[in-house]
Amino acid sequence: MDTDCIFCKIAAGDLPAKKVYEDDQIMAFFDIHPKASVHLLVIPKKHIATLNDLNTTDSALISKLVLALPEIAKEQKLEGFRVVVNNGPGSGQIVYHLHFHILGGKQIPTF
């Protein structure tokens, strides 16, 4: 755990979040500033700053997280959804704890 990291604090239960899924390794909760009618964040509980910081020992964790995305979306009754990962400087990443945005609900702009 990174003691300065807000998502580590959420994962540890030290900061509140509107959780929709949690197990021993991952967690999903609503984004506090939604950019779509449904906007969730899915995180590994382990502190990993960016995709660049993953290594092969994280394979099972990341596989589990990606496999959970459609399940979490289905729970929110999303037919389709967009997954966004901002990764590193210049990408818009603000929180340096790896997170997958799930965006869906009302028509979201295409790009």
Chain residues in the site for ligand AMP (CB under 6 A): 6, 15, 17, 31-33, 41, 86, 92-95
Q: Is 99 a catalytic site residue?
A: yes
Tokens of 43: 């995180």
Q: Residue 81: what are its φ and ψ, rounded to 5°?
A: -155, 160
Measured between alpha carbons, how far is residue 1 from residues 58, 65, 87, 109, 110 in Å? Answer: 15, 18, 20, 35, 36
The contact mask relative to Zn ion for 80-109 (x = CB under 5 A, - = no) is -----------------x------------
Residue 106: which of ligand AMP, Zn ion, none does it interact with, CB under 5 to 8 A by kind? none
User: Quick one: which of 20, 31, 47, 76 contacts Zn ion (CB under 5 A)?
Assistant: 47
Residue 103: which of Zn ion, ligand AMP, none does it interact with, CB under 5 to 8 A by kind? none
Tokens of 34: 């939604």
Q: 64: closest CA among 36, 39, 27?
A: 27
Interaction site with Zn ion (CB under 5 A): 2, 5, 7-8, 47, 97
Catalytic annotation, residues? 99
